[in-house]
Amino acid sequence: VQLQASGGGLVQAGGSLRLSCTATEGTVSQYTVGWFRQAPGKERELVAAIRGKAINTFHTDSVKGRFTISRDNAKNTVHLQMNSLKPEDTAVYYCAARWNWNVVPSTWTPADFSYWGQGTQVTVSS
Protein backbone atom coordinates (compact mmCIF):
# COMPACT_ATOMS: atom_id res chain seq x y z
CA VAL A 1 0.00 0.00 0.00
CA GLN A 2 1.17 3.54 -0.74
CA LEU A 3 -0.07 6.31 1.51
CA GLN A 4 -0.35 10.05 1.00
CA ALA A 5 -0.99 12.37 3.94
CA SER A 6 -2.51 15.83 3.63
CA GLY A 7 -4.42 18.46 5.55
CA GLY A 8 -1.82 20.01 7.80
CA GLY A 9 -1.47 23.73 8.31
CA LEU A 10 -1.26 26.62 10.73
CA VAL A 11 -4.13 27.11 13.16
CA GLN A 12 -4.73 29.05 16.35
CA ALA A 13 -5.16 27.28 19.67
CA GLY A 14 -8.70 26.00 20.02
CA GLY A 15 -9.07 25.56 16.28
CA SER A 16 -9.57 22.44 14.18
CA LEU A 17 -7.90 20.60 11.33
CA ARG A 18 -8.70 17.39 9.51
CA LEU A 19 -5.85 15.26 8.26
CA SER A 20 -6.36 12.75 5.47
CA CYS A 21 -4.38 9.63 4.63
CA THR A 22 -5.26 8.35 1.17
CA ALA A 23 -4.06 5.06 -0.26
CA THR A 24 -2.85 5.63 -3.81
CA GLU A 25 -2.14 1.94 -4.18
CA GLY A 26 -3.88 -0.77 -2.22
CA THR A 27 -7.08 -0.73 -0.17
CA VAL A 28 -6.87 1.11 3.12
CA SER A 29 -9.62 -0.97 4.74
CA GLN A 30 -7.41 -4.06 4.56
CA TYR A 31 -4.88 -2.52 6.94
CA THR A 32 -4.67 -1.15 10.42
CA VAL A 33 -3.83 2.52 9.89
CA GLY A 34 -2.25 4.76 12.45
CA TRP A 35 -1.43 8.43 12.79
CA PHE A 36 1.88 9.26 14.41
CA ARG A 37 3.35 12.63 15.25
CA GLN A 38 6.87 13.85 15.89
CA ALA A 39 7.68 17.15 17.51
CA PRO A 40 11.19 18.65 17.32
CA GLY A 41 13.55 16.83 19.63
CA LYS A 42 10.97 14.19 20.56
CA GLU A 43 10.33 10.62 19.56
CA ARG A 44 7.63 9.73 17.07
CA GLU A 45 4.50 8.73 18.97
CA LEU A 46 1.28 6.96 18.02
CA VAL A 47 -1.68 9.32 18.27
CA ALA A 48 -4.55 7.19 16.95
CA ALA A 49 -5.21 3.99 15.02
CA ILE A 50 -8.10 2.25 13.34
CA ARG A 51 -8.41 -1.46 12.67
CA GLY A 52 -8.80 -2.78 9.14
CA LYS A 53 -12.19 -4.31 8.28
CA ALA A 54 -13.46 -3.40 11.75
CA ILE A 55 -14.45 -0.45 13.88
CA ASN A 56 -11.86 -0.79 16.65
CA THR A 57 -10.07 2.46 17.29
CA PHE A 58 -7.34 3.68 19.59
CA HIS A 59 -6.59 7.24 20.74
CA THR A 60 -3.71 8.09 23.01
CA ASP A 61 -4.70 9.70 26.32
CA SER A 62 -3.46 13.18 25.44
CA VAL A 63 -5.88 13.46 22.50
CA LYS A 64 -8.93 11.59 23.80
CA GLY A 65 -12.04 13.70 23.46
CA ARG A 66 -10.32 16.04 21.01
CA PHE A 67 -9.13 13.86 18.09
CA THR A 68 -11.14 11.26 16.22
CA ILE A 69 -9.84 8.74 13.69
CA SER A 70 -12.23 7.43 11.05
CA ARG A 71 -12.18 5.65 7.72
CA ASP A 72 -14.01 6.47 4.49
CA ASN A 73 -13.92 3.28 2.44
CA ALA A 74 -15.48 4.92 -0.62
CA LYS A 75 -12.58 7.40 -0.75
CA ASN A 76 -9.95 4.88 0.37
CA THR A 77 -8.98 7.37 3.06
CA VAL A 78 -8.43 7.51 6.82
CA HIS A 79 -9.10 10.85 8.49
CA LEU A 80 -7.88 12.34 11.73
CA GLN A 81 -10.26 15.05 12.91
CA MET A 82 -8.44 17.29 15.36
CA ASN A 83 -10.48 19.69 17.48
CA SER A 84 -9.56 21.96 20.39
CA LEU A 85 -5.98 22.03 19.20
CA LYS A 86 -3.25 23.03 21.63
CA PRO A 87 0.25 24.38 20.99
CA GLU A 88 1.63 21.08 22.26
CA ASP A 89 -0.07 19.34 19.32
CA THR A 90 2.43 21.05 17.01
CA ALA A 91 4.34 18.33 15.15
CA VAL A 92 4.82 16.62 11.84
CA TYR A 93 2.02 14.08 11.48
CA TYR A 94 2.53 10.82 9.61
CA CYS A 95 0.12 8.09 8.62
CA ALA A 96 1.26 4.50 8.52
CA ALA A 97 -0.17 1.05 7.96
CA ARG A 98 0.33 -2.47 9.28
CA TRP A 99 -1.43 -5.74 8.62
CA ASN A 100 -2.58 -6.82 12.05
CA TRP A 101 -4.32 -5.59 15.20
CA ASN A 102 -3.04 -8.26 17.52
CA VAL A 103 -1.23 -6.36 20.26
CA VAL A 104 -2.36 -3.65 22.64
CA PRO A 105 -2.21 -0.48 20.48
CA SER A 106 -0.74 1.61 23.27
CA THR A 107 2.42 -0.46 22.98
CA TRP A 108 2.90 0.08 19.25
CA THR A 109 6.02 1.86 18.05
CA PRO A 110 6.95 3.13 14.58
CA ALA A 111 8.82 -0.14 13.98
CA ASP A 112 5.50 -2.00 14.16
CA PHE A 113 4.26 -0.28 10.97
CA SER A 114 5.53 -1.34 7.56
CA TYR A 115 4.12 1.32 5.27
CA TRP A 116 4.47 5.08 5.68
CA GLY A 117 3.18 8.21 4.03
CA GLN A 118 5.06 11.48 3.94
CA GLY A 119 4.57 13.84 6.86
CA THR A 120 2.29 16.83 7.04
CA GLN A 121 3.12 19.76 9.32
CA VAL A 122 0.62 20.87 11.95
CA THR A 123 1.43 24.12 13.74
CA VAL A 124 -0.78 25.43 16.53
CA SER A 125 -0.14 29.00 17.63
CA SER A 126 -0.95 30.24 21.11
Instruction: Using DSSP bridges, classify how beta strands 120-125 and 9-12 pair: parallel, antiparallel or unpaired.
Output: parallel
Q: Tell me the C-alpha distance between 108 and 126, whole Å.
A: 30
Please tell me the distance from the alpha carbon of residue 126 to that of residue 107, in angstroms, as a whole number.
31
Question: pLDDT tens, 1-43?
Answer: 999 999 999 999 999 999 999 999 999 999 999 999 999 999 9
**Distance (Å, rounded) from C-alpha 67 to C-alpha 85?**
9
Read off the pLDDT of residues 95-110 as tens digits, 9 standing for 90 and up.
999 998 877 888 999 9
pLDDT confidence of 63, banded at 50, 70, 90? very high
Query: CA 20 to CA 72: how far, in whole Å?
Result: 10
| Distance (Å, whole) CA 124 – CA 58 | 23
Separation CA 36–CA 92 (nearest Å) = 8
